[in-house]
Amino acid sequence: MIRKYIFALGALVASRCGAHAAPLDLYGKLPSIEQAEVSPSGKLVAYIITDGENRKIFVQSVPDLKPVTSAAAGATKLRDLTWVGDQHLILTTSTSRQPQDVLAPRLEWSIAFDLDLQQHRVRPLLHNIKGAEEAMNTIHGTPEPRVIDGKPFVFVRGEHFVSSLGQAGLFRVDLASHVATLVEPGRGRGISDWVVGPDGAVVAQDNYDDKSGQWSLMLRTGHSSWRAVQSLSAPIDTPSLMGLGRDGKSVLLFIDDDKLGSGWRELSIVTGAWGDLLPSTKAESAIHDPATGQLIGTYALVGDTPQYDFFDAHDAAVWRAVSKAFPGDLVTRSSWSEDRKKIVVRVDSAKEGPAYALVDLTTGKAIWLGAEYADLKPQDISPVKPVSYKAADGLEITGYLTIPQDRARQGLPLVVLVHGGPAARDEPGFDWEAQAIASRGYAVLQVNYRGSSGFGPGFYNAGFGEFGRKMQTDLSDGVRHLAREGTIDPKRVCIVGGSYGGYAALAGATLDRGVYRCAVSYAGPSDLRSQFSDSREKGGEDALRYWERYVGAKDLKDPVLAQISPAAHADQAEIPILLIHGRDDTVVTIAQSRRMAAALRRAGKPVEVVELPGEDHWLSRGETRQKMLAATVAFLERNNPPQ
């Protein structure tokens, strides 16, 4: 399915369904389009397309979509595109390959490049650096573009070395000369982030001491001097510095504090005083002007509906017009031009799946750029419906149920597909893994268990101390709810998940027994003590505290870690288990699955293992996504036949 045609706003006609599901590989392949971004002037659009395992950046003119330039990325993991003016496109990639001569825990490293459209050249962003004798060509976070006195710059957070020790720093890259300058060196491990003003001046930075749990915000008082204006005790969750506020004279923070409350709050750069909480209480992410960096709105998924709140009446009116043009679809903003007249949107149709469109408000028309899964037809996409039920303790739980095409909602075999995080959530719309499993005749339940994000602080906090406990039974309570309704056959249920979801699959086999016929864990931790120790080595004491909060452990010696570790209870497993893991996973190392497999074999329990060479934690390669999907479906069909 590729929606290539031009249509008047609101005049899209959906295709009709056919009879047979697509081959499994078409669900597991990389998306045909991974990202689409319009340039600041609205004259160009760039997007990442894939061909098998290879990625390529295409740039086309608007509105005729004639080719301007392209760059082949090969099998590189291309994560993001950022325009700086109309001449420079910043490409962010990542790799699990350790930089040469760097002693550090194994991590996923991000690297940025500049694609210069006029010179038709791609260069590393951090390679010619002033102010730092030694620095790494790696970045943290998203590059921030600024055009200063007509010249293009980009600010990135990176790493430099002081006495052979790496520490954070803020770099300014002049894209005209391609010289990078270290403008703000970090002070040890404490400095975590900076805010850059519209004119390129660094106006704020925060400092966190992960030993004491003390956080402070500092404002510039001179050319190189800073003063702390606010300080908070933050033993677990630090305030997040989110960029500039609405007027350009404030900074935006997300805080969760007993006195200041929970939500988005601005702080004056002039006085250092807190402002009021923003009215967008349900906001999940901030939207900043691509030219100035100032806050212009917020985004949240409210229930099952994307909600944008813009502070400017014109921006709000523009978005209302765009979203109304796609009735019944889930519409989210990918990017827009500085004048808001050219907008790239992602349109997720319940019948046709997700695709990108370029909306031109000057003509009142939109152009389809292409579908994310171009080879899937409407008949290959199963309907997704919201579900809600009460957990055993009365907490309201929501989620989504995918029903196989042309199947009655009665007595179905079920797969519980568990999201990672745990501070994440499942969303309405197309999910490649859920759709693939449903295409084989299974209903698929995706649960936003307690502790998931996006449902307010109360629901999030309800997950504290419930790792392997109520977070787990929220899943099986969903199975029991569907069984009472008659939707599923409770004797034909399996559980599948990745990352935390992989842990939940293993816990379903060892801790919450009697619910599932089989379990599939992708990249799931099985030994919490070693997993948390590894997290502390990579992320410091605050990373360890994050996990301890969910688990309820006092420290790494707390016996509760063994009590809810699936590997420690392998002898209790009563169902077949499939373990799938990428060998290049730097978040949950493959040792976790190998440890679980060894424990199951010692106990004489059935286990299958699939190791994916060259794969990371996020299934970034199409070939291994397809292998994972094929192994999962084959395992489900052997142990829980759909018919």
pLDDT value of position 17: 34
Range of 132-146, 154-168, 313-327, 431-445 with top mean pLDDT? 431-445
Is 146 a residue whose pLDDT tops 70?
yes
Secondary-structure breakdown of the chain: helix, strand, coil percentages, each rounded to the nearest 5: 20, 40, 40
E strands within 499-616? Answer: 518-522, 577-582, 607-612
More confident residue, 191 or 252: 252
Question: Alpha carbon of 338 to those of 35, 60, 290, 356, 410: distances in Å?
Answer: 19, 18, 7, 19, 51
How does residue 20 score in pLDDT terms, banded at 50, 70 and 90? Answer: low
Q: Find tokens 């509760």 and name the residue.
A: 560
How many CA atoms lie less than 13 Å away from 271 in the CB half-sphere? Answer: 6
pLDDT value of position 107: 83
**Do 25 and 626 meet the contact criterion of CB atoms below 8 Å apart?**
yes
pLDDT value of position 163: 58
pLDDT value of position 556: 85
Is 236 a residue whose pLDDT tops 90?
no
How does residue 190 score in pLDDT terms, banded at 50, 70 and 90? Answer: low
Output the CA torsion sign for 76, 579, 570, 641. positive
Q: What are phi and psi of 122, to 5 degrees?
A: -115, 125
pLDDT tens digits along 94-139: 998 877 666 667 788 899 999 999 999 999 998 878 766 677 788 8
- Residues 36-40 have a mean pLDDT of 96
For the chain, domains (ranges, CATH) are 1-75+312-380 (no CATH), 382-527+565-639 (3.40.50.1820)
Task: Give the lowest-confidence range in 167-171, 561-565, 585-589, 626-630.
Answer: 167-171
Residue 28 burial class via C-beta count within 10 angstroms: exposed 0-12, middle 13-18, buried 19 and up? buried
How does residue 217 score in pLDDT terms, banded at 50, 70 and 90? Answer: very high
**Do 562 and 504 meet the contact criterion of CB atoms below 8 Å apart?**
no
Write the CB contacts of 264 (distance below 8 Å, at least 6 apart in sequence): 242, 252, 253, 254, 277, 278, 280, 283, 286, 298
Is 189 a residue whose pLDDT tops 80?
no
pLDDT value of position 7: 32
Computed over every residue of the chain, the mean pLDDT equals: 89
Task: With H, G, I as helix, E, B as strand and everything else as coil, classify residue 573.
Answer: coil
Peptide bond before residue 525 is cis, with ω within 30 degrees of 0: no
Is 310 a residue whose pLDDT tops 90?
yes
pLDDT value of position 188: 55
pLDDT tens digits along 72-101: 999 999 999 999 999 999 999 999 887 766
Is 355 a residue whose pLDDT tops 60?
yes
pLDDT value of position 303: 82
pLDDT tens digits along 484-502: 999 999 999 999 999 999 9
**Do 219 and 269 meet the contact criterion of CB atoms below 8 Å apart?**
yes
Tokens of 11: 């005049």
Question: How many C-beta neighbours within 10 Å does residue 183 have?
Answer: 17
Peptide bond before residue 185 is cis, with ω within 30 degrees of 0: no
Q: In the chain, what percentage of residues exceed pLDDT 90?
A: 70
pTM of the model: 0.92
